[in-house]
Structure 1
Amino acid sequence: MTAAFVIILWICQKLAEIFYLPLCLIRFFKKSKKCPPVTNKLLLLSASDLAQRIRKRKITSVAVIQAYISRINEVNPLINAVIENRFEDALLDAKKADDLIRNSGLNEEQIAEKYPLLGVPLTVKGSIGVTGLIQSAGSRDHLIPADNDADVVKHARDAGAIPLLVSNVPELCLNWECSNKLIGTTSNPYDSTRTSGGSSGGEASLLGCGASLIGLGSDLGGSVRLPAHYCGIFGHKPSPHVVSLVGLYPDCKDKEEWKELCTIGPMTRYATDLKLVLNIIAEPDIKKVLKLNQSVDLKNLKVYYMEDTNSILSTRLSDDVTNVIKKVVTYFDVLCTHKCKKIDMPTMRYCAESSYVKVLFLEMDVDDLFQGKDNQIYYEILRYFCCKSTHQASSIFYGIFKRHLKLIPEKTVQKLFSYLNKLREDFLKILDDDAVFILPTGPCEAIYHGDMFRKSFNYGYCAAFNILGFPATNCPITFSKNGLPIGVQVVAGPNLDRLTLSVAEELERVFGGWKFS
């Protein structure tokens, strides 16, 4: 029965490829554009370096905020990543930060301890609450300004960070293509014909072209890591319960299950900033468990790796991605006492469909999107194809899938879930407190706009680790033959985030990390 279910999904995917054939032809007439290079040197400093220079009064926060506003205004007409900004208020916040440094009576060390991000700009995914800014999650039906900061934004503000804007997301975060009827589609900063990914695609695009320094995204099935991979930045999905989800929209009725599967995490251009930001946004009671500041002996690290999941639903691994995995493994073979070990986990081939079914069974607070008569959603499909719908195709199909979950045989559902349980057991056997697992973040570079539906199972590489509850970090390594970023995903056992973050810093040191010129 499970095999039949997978075959049905495969057929649906092939039909989607036929449906999108006209879109492929249109691409021949679209010209690829890249964001202009970064010229202001202030934009090339890490958050930790920037905060230190502001504290030492070598530069002002006002100058930094002005530089980022200028860069955002320069690139946003091309990438279309901003839902709403608070530039005027941000400049006032920057002036207050500069005044605090001059007049508070605190010395440099005291400021660093109390306000580690003082005067540093921050951008926030459009589904996370920032007081006074629209928290729409890309929906035209939810144009409501947030009354309060989400917990994660409050922690960042308390540390001195200055929010600049909320960034674009797919409608209700239900897509890996960052597109909605509110402001349109966000493009990849390296190639405007390609996607920035989703659902944290606005954040990734801004970071990728140097228009943001540190960002906050959320991740239910790769929504931080996949855009980070596509846009050449670092993105971390923390262990469950590390970061509060209060202030995130959409929300979920199954609160405990939601906290296990969904996380809010940092997205940065520099690996060293991941640990800095996570230390700030993590809930106080979990910081002692994470031990983020504890040193990691990389030489004694055990490194396991995998290339292809061998799923019939996923795109085959590109040569670029295969070569990147080999480069990383070759490096750790030399660095570490233990030789890297390639492992085969047969149940990984079912990780995409198993993870998606698991998420579909969540009771989301957007499940009543198409309330009313049973056939209303089918009218919505007709309206969509007549260009009259106010919703994206991804939201409409989500509604259809939710209505027909009972069509999936219970035996098939339980079999898929058993694969996930077996996969977790297998990983827990190897991922102890001195081991990491390296695999692709995705099987290829950033895909073209509109390709999501025919490649929707490429994201199983990421989604599995939400279900399993493991921390995972995307690390940019190099570029494909088409000049697009290629990264790898580093995974560790629960609450061992410090391992993936330490590996990210090492990979940045060796391979150069984020680059945009």
Structure 2
Amino acid sequence: MSIPNESAPGSRSLFQPASQWLSMLRDRRIGAVELLELHLAQVAKHNPDINAVVVQDLEGAFAAAREADSRSLSEMPPLHGLPMTIKDTFEVTGMPATCGFPFLASHRPELDADPVARLRSAGAVIYGKTNVPPGAFDWQSSNPVYGETCNPWDLTRSPGGSSGGPAASVAAGFAALELGSDIGGSIRCPAHFCGIYGHKTSFGIVPIRGHIPPLPGHLMRPEMGVAGPMARSAFDLELALDVLTAPEQLESTAWSVRVPPSRHERLQDFRVGLLADSSIFAVDANCINAIEEYAGDLRRLGVRVDVGAGPHIDWKMSYETYIATLFQLMAGGTPTPVLQQYVATVGQLAEDDHSYPTRLARALALRHYEYVEVTAKRELLYRQWRDFFSRYDLLICPVMPTVAYPHDRRGHEAPNAIEAGEARTMVINGQPRPYFDGLQWPSVATVANLPATAVPTGRLVDGLPVGVQLIGPYLEDRTPLRFAQLVEQALGGFTPPPTVA
């Protein structure tokens, strides 16, 4: 089923792209205070049911909006007067930063996280924080501090995670632009579940100091973890990318970041591969059908899409390398006695036990020389992807195995997210699968540090939107973004959920 294009460009719909609001702000057709009030009215109307925006700084936001309205045209920065919400993994002055942890409920940072500071300096009016799962490690955006966030398309369903609150905020008209983060599909999964756009940036091009995890006061740059924008238009993703892109603070003395232009400017020039194969990783047949229909749309636009074309990679090795790297990172926030308990069990585990708690134990028990072998496998993957991108410009593949699934509260009392996931399953083609098999498709881009843009396909399954990820070459973020923009122009993109439109 195709989604009708109800948000026609140029309308003054609350759901229009950020770029259109910014044009109106610069032309004084609307003021920053008026625009903030418009968004707050939408929050007041629909947030009690959705629970995406969990804390607000109205005093600070109105002060920033009044300042924006006092600027002259020559003083207007790129995001002049645009209301924004920010994922509650980022430290934002004036509001708590909890990452869903009760023990951080009173943590009020004195500095903005680096990407937040860049957005604020660019003129964004930051008025609220959006919900996440504890530790930003789940596709259910629910925590003991702020409760459960619902999908605007169906309140009985998850909006995804960990950027579930941000995706719901954008889809419900609470903000036209959001800041998310991604290490396990945390931008791409919620974008797919909520029918919006999201961009997982190439690793290292957006500074992430001030993101939780790691816990406040811990200086660590997690491998594979990135920050990136979420929006209702692929054009807005690039607008935000231009603001967010910068070296980390310690490198800024000598380094600069310049993301190159897109490889092509015409859809017909892009060389596109498509992998939506359940023999590689789990994916529901209905989602495969929707993706194939999307590929048909592209072909009618003159795009050559090669089904089955992908890098020559051992996909099992790729996934296990990703899992070992990801689970090693969990050691940084795990108490020593708990680490010791996991390591102590490794010798007792059966060789054919591939459950996720077992994978966690094995990852935590890796000796340094063993982890060096894991990093060497990633180096091999980098080069295999580089070879693929010498022949193709993009790879289209699923974001997740299914569309948004019902809220699943099982395992909430477990000691960590991995153990909680063992209490849950995903139903794929009518059969239960391990919950954390949802990491498989997101891992494809993440393990190799690649950019990936999540885009709506214009299809629904069970009344819920289906997205895909457009994986591009390392450090060439504008290539998948430009492709997404051209397709959006030709086919339309975001449609507001009927419950809030």
TM class, shorter-length: 0.7 to 0.9
Shift of 1:322: 1.5
The equivalent of 2:273 in structure 1 is: 304
Cα shift readout 1:60-95 (whole Å, capped 9, x = no counterpart): 111100011111121111111223111232122111
Counterpart of 1:50 (choices 2, 21, 26) is 21
Cα shift readout 1:282-304 (whole Å, capped 9, x = no counterpart): 11677753135886343221111
Q: Which moved more, 1:157-166 or 1:406-415?
A: 406-415
Residue 140 of structure 1 aligns with an amino acid whose one-letter code is P
Cα shift readout 1:197-239 (whole Å, capped 9, x = no counterpart): 1111100111112221100011111100001100000000111
The answer to whether residue 189 in structure 2 is matched with residue 226 in structure 1 is yes
Which structure 2 residues correspond to residues 341-352 of structure 1 after superposition, within 5 A?
A: 341-343=307-309, 345=312, 347-349=314-316, 351-352=318-319
The answer to whether residue 400 in structure 2 is matched with residue 442 in structure 1 is yes
The answer to whether residue 234 in structure 2 is matched with residue 280 in structure 1 is no
Which structure 2 residues correspond to residues 398-477 of structure 1 after superposition, within 5 A?
A: 405=363, 422-432=380-390, 435-450=393-408, 453-454=424-425, 455-477=435-457
The answer to whether residue 87 in structure 2 is matched with residue 129 in structure 1 is no
Counterpart of 1:97 (choices 61, 68, 74) is 68
Q: Which moved more, 1:474-483 or 1:230-239?
A: 474-483
Shift of 1:334: 4.4
Counterpart of 1:186 (choices 146, 149, 159) is 149
Shift of 1:254: 8.7
Conservation of the 8 A alpha-carbon contact between 1:310 and 1:349:
no
Structure 1 pair 365/346, CA: closer, same or farther in 2 (3 Å)?
closer
For the residue of structure 2 that corresponds to 1:192, the secondary structure is coil
Which structure 2 residues correspond to residues 110-189 of structure 1 after superposition, within 5 A?
A: 110-112=74-76, 115-143=77-105, 144-189=107-152
Structure 1 pair 325/509, CA: closer, same or farther in 2 (3 Å)?
same
The equivalent of 2:418 in structure 1 is: none
Which structure 2 residues correspond to residues 311-326 of structure 1 after superposition, within 5 A?
A: 311=280, 315-319=282-286, 321-326=287-292
Residue 296 of structure 2 aligns with an amino acid whose one-letter code is T
Q: How far apart, CA to CA, are the structure 1 residues paired with 2:95 and 2:337?
A: 26
The equivalent of 2:212 in structure 1 is: 249
Residue 57 of structure 2 aligns with an amino acid whose one-letter code is R
Conservation of the 8 A alpha-carbon contact between 1:352 and 1:457:
no
Unaligned runs of 5+ in 2: 1-5, 346-354, 411-420, 426-434
Q: How far apart, CA to CA, are the structure 2 residues paired with 1:372 and 1:357?
A: 15
Conservation of the 8 A alpha-carbon contact between 2:185 and 2:439:
yes
The equivalent of 2:482 in structure 1 is: 502
Q: How far apart, CA to CA, are the structure 2 residues paired with 1:262 and 1:473?
A: 15
Residue 426 of structure 1 aligns with an amino acid whose one-letter code is Q
For the residue of structure 1 that corresponds to 2:156, the secondary structure is strand
Counterpart of 1:88 (choices 56, 59, 78) is 59
Conservation of the 8 A alpha-carbon contact between 1:244 and 1:264:
yes
Cα shift readout 1:1-35 (whole Å, capped 9, x = no counterpart): xxxxxxxxxxxxxxxxxxxxxxxxxxxxxxxxxxx
Q: How far apart, CA to CA, are the structure 2 residues paired with 1:427 and 1:304?
A: 13
Conservation of the 8 A alpha-carbon contact between 2:324 and 2:359:
no
Which structure 2 residues correspond to residues 287-298 of structure 1 after superposition, within 5 A?
A: 289-292=258-261, 296-298=265-267
Q: Which moved more, 1:334-343 or 1:398-407?
A: 398-407
Residue 385 of structure 2 aligns with an amino acid whose one-letter code is F
Q: How far apart, CA to CA, are the structure 1 residues paired with 2:184 and 2:440?
A: 8
Percent of aligned pairs sharing the same letter: 27
The equivalent of 2:32 in structure 1 is: 61
Conservation of the 8 A alpha-carbon contact between 1:66 and 1:91:
no
The equivalent of 2:299 in structure 1 is: 333
RMSD over aligned Cα atoms? 3.3
Residue 53 of structure 2 aligns with an amino acid whose one-letter code is V
Residue 214 of structure 1 aligns with an amino acid whose one-letter code is L
Structure 1 pair 287/479, CA: closer, same or farther in 2 (3 Å)?
farther
Cα shift readout 1:418-466 (whole Å, capped 9, x = no counterpart): 7655544332212149611111111211111118632221221112311
For the residue of structure 2 that corresponds to 1:267, the secondary structure is strand
The equivalent of 1:493 in structure 2 is: 473
Shift of 1:251: 1.8
Shift of 1:410: 10
For the residue of structure 1 that corresponds to 2:193, the secondary structure is helix
Conservation of the 8 A alpha-carbon contact between 1:194 and 1:449:
yes
Residue 87 of structure 1 aligns with an amino acid whose one-letter code is L
Conservation of the 8 A alpha-carbon contact between 1:308 and 1:317:
no
Unaligned runs of 5+ in 1: 1-36, 102-107, 379-396
The equivalent of 1:393 in structure 2 is: none
The TM-score, its normalising length taken from structure 2, stands at 0.80
Q: Which moved more, 1:507-516 or 1:193-202?
A: 507-516
Structure 1 pair 410/370, CA: closer, same or farther in 2 (3 Å)?
closer
Conservation of the 8 A alpha-carbon contact between 1:65 and 1:121:
yes
Structure 1 pair 166/364, CA: closer, same or farther in 2 (3 Å)?
farther
Q: How far apart, CA to CA, are the structure 2 residues paired with 1:435 and 1:247?
A: 33
Structure 1 pair 63/399, CA: closer, same or farther in 2 (3 Å)?
farther
For the residue of structure 2 that corresponds to 1:266, the secondary structure is strand
Conservation of the 8 A alpha-carbon contact between 1:125 and 1:203:
yes
Q: How far apart, CA to CA, are the structure 1 residues paired with 2:53 and 2:319?
A: 30
Residue 82 of structure 2 aligns with an amino acid whose one-letter code is V
For the residue of structure 1 that corresponds to 2:140, the secondary structure is coil
The TM-score, its normalising length taken from structure 1, stands at 0.78
Q: How far apart, CA to CA, are the structure 2 residues paired with 1:254 and 1:89?
A: 28
Q: How far apart, CA to CA, are the structure 2 residues paired with 1:156 and 1:337?
A: 35
Conservation of the 8 A alpha-carbon contact between 1:472 and 1:491:
yes
Conservation of the 8 A alpha-carbon contact between 1:275 and 1:292:
no
Q: How far apart, CA to CA, are the structure 2 residues paired with 1:422 and 1:121?
A: 43
Structure 1 pair 431/95, CA: closer, same or farther in 2 (3 Å)?
same
